[in-house]
Amino acid sequence: MPQQDRAYATREAILHAAAEKFDRLGYERTSLTAVLARAGLTKGAFYFHFPSKEAVADALVERQSELWTRLRESWRLRGLDPLSTLHGMFTESADRIAADVVLRAGVRLNADREVGYPGVPSSHVLWEKLVATYVAEAGERGHLRAGADPEAVARTLCSAALGSRLISSATTACTDFPARIREVLAHVLPCVAAPEWKLSGSQTGSEGP
């Protein structure tokens, strides 16, 4: 394999090995030694690609951050109504997190970084604001029940999604996260949607449309 491809493969192997450790143990309890052992690499090979354990974590956080931007754009292009778009984004996120340890580790690292640093603008707040814009748009289209508060709905959905991920991670390594997120949506959306709203697209299974 050309040197460039080999370098890429090594970098990915480091990210994958680190992700497996970070996903199970978190940042603090993961040692660089354990990552190297997992990846079957020497320190020299590692330092060719990353200056530190923190830099690997940065790369994982960055990767998950890019994915959410792409995911939002892909759901926007489907042109579904806002509540169906939200349903699709939540379920696809859960499916991807369950399937991909690199993504899962990035999500965990990103969330863990915020704990213990009061004052750092919380990504939870940003997610809640983003979700609230979809719910508010649903309201403008007449898809919400009278009295439904978009920000309160967003807080409930984001809380339940976070809690589902953490419980699923602690109990089944996220295997049941896709099923859990669908339960959450099935328990909340009918409560806040107007009776005539119907889910568009086919996001009831584990596959995207």
| Contact map string, positions 94 to 133, toward a second copy, x by CB under 8 A | --------------------xxx-x---x-xx--x-----
Q: Applying CB under 8 A, which of residues 5, 170, 195, 196 lies at the interface with a second copy?
A: 170
Q: Which is nearer to a second copy, 52 or 159 (CB)?
A: 159
Q: Which is nearer to a second copy, 45 or 188 (CB)?
A: 188
Q: Which is nearer to a second copy, 45 or 166 (CB)?
A: 166
d(CA 181, CA 199): 15
d(CA 59, CA 152): 33
Two tokens, residue 32: 């660089």
d(CA 203, CA 208): 6
Question: From the CB of 8, what's the least distance to a second copy, in Å?
Answer: 30
Q: Applying CB under 8 A, which of residues 24, 38, 63, 72 lies at the interface with a second copy?
A: 24
d(CA 48, CA 178): 37
C-alpha dist (Å) from residue 189 to 85, 97, 135, 141, 164:
12, 22, 10, 15, 16
C-alpha dist (Å) from residue 133 to 36, 98, 128, 173, 193:
43, 26, 9, 31, 15
Two tokens, residue 100: 């991909």
Q: Applying CB under 8 A, which of residues 9, 25, 37, 55 lies at the interface with a second copy?
A: 25
Question: From the CB of 9, what's the least distance to a second copy, in Å?
Answer: 29
Residue 162, interface with a second copy (CB under 8 A)?
yes
Residue 91, interface with a second copy (CB under 8 A)?
no
Q: Which is nearer to a second copy, 158 or 199 (CB)?
A: 158
Q: Within 13 Å and on the Cβ side, how many CA atoms surround 8?
A: 5
**Residue 204: CB atoms within 10 Å:** 12
Question: From the CB of 59, what's the least distance to a second copy, in Å?
Answer: 21
Give residues in contact with a second copy (CB under 8 A).
Answer: 24-26, 28-29, 114-116, 118, 122, 124-125, 128, 152-153, 155-156, 158-164, 166-167, 169-171, 173, 180, 183-184, 186-188, 190-192
